[in-house]
Amino acid sequence: MVRSTCVVSGGGGRGPGAALCVAVVGLMLGCGSSSSQVQRPEGMTTAVDKARCDDSGKVIVTSDTNGDKVPDVIRMYRVQDAGGQKTQILVCRQVDLNHDRKIDIVDHFGDDGIRTFEEFDLDFDGRFDLRAFYQGGRKVREEMDTNYDQRVDFTKYYEGDRLVRIERDANNDGKVDEWQYYEAGKLDRIGYDTNGSGQVDRWERAPEGGLVPATTASSNAPAAEPTDTQPPPATEP
């Protein structure tokens, strides 16, 4: 069960005077997690495992940064037995940036304490619009809903901390129709699907001075021009 206790050092607002509430794992006399006061927004439609941010059985640490007696930052720790020693590993952090009692940022961490996934509510409407995926602590993919219809329409891919490709659904029909490729951090070429076939039928290249139209691709051109940079897997990392 979970028992909640609060320690208030006095004062208000941000800094040392803010209230710190700690929910500790106990065996008796519990009351649920204090994180229930803050609403978690809905997300985009692609399925993501949110189990690490389920507060069941976890140590919950909350802080009130503006003194309104409602938690603004919620940290969740999993208790682990390592060689007879009880250790706490941060698995989730949630933040209410604008103090409207809705979560705006969520960070997910792996068993090693390294970030694996994060999501953001950019317009504070209670729905996530941007999320990023990490492998080995490095960002590998970033997905965004730019028109707020709860579908991903703008995706960035990274390799070695460098942007290598952007995929865009320009007409918001649920299909990628624009592919931007980057070399050494600079835009190199863009492929367009102008007829809805799911394949590139027009390319633009970027010589010195900026993009200029290039030759039209053949009708059987692939959705991505052959390149040393391979697309990441379709499944979530």
Half-sphere exposure of residue 146: CA atoms within 13 angstroms, side-chain side: 12
Q: What is the pLDDT of residue 16?
A: 36
Q: Cα separation of 73 and 94, whole Å?
A: 6
Two tokens, residue 160: 């070695």
Both tokens assigned to 78: 């999993």
Domain extent listing, the chain: 2-147, 153-237
CB 95 within 8 A of CB 81: no
Does the structure show a pLDDT above 70 at 125? Answer: yes
Q: 34-91, pLDDT tens digit by residue?
A: 444 556 555 555 556 677 888 888 999 999 999 999 999 999 999 988 788 899 999 9
pLDDT in tens, 7-35: 333 333 333 334 334 443 332 233 334 44
Mean pLDDT of 91-109: 93
Please check the confidence at residue 167 and state whether its pLDDT lies above 70: yes
| DSSP-assigned letters across all residues of 117-143 | EEEE-TTSSSB--EEEEEETTEEEEEE
What percentage of the chain exceeds 90 in pLDDT? 51
Q: Which helix (H) or strand (E) holds 60?
A: strand 59-64
**Residue 33 main-chain phi, psi, to 5 deg:** -70, 140
Say if residue 75 is exposed, middle or buried (CB neighbours under 10 Å; 0-12, 13-18, 19+). buried
pLDDT at 52: 81
pLDDT tens for 170-193 read: 999 989 999 999 998 899 999 999
pLDDT at 42: 58
Encoded tokens for 88: 């706490």
* Cα 90 from Cα 122, distance rounded (Å): 24
Distances (CA, A) of 219 to 106, 166, 175, 192: 43, 22, 18, 12
Q: What is the mean pLDDT of residues 204-213?
A: 66
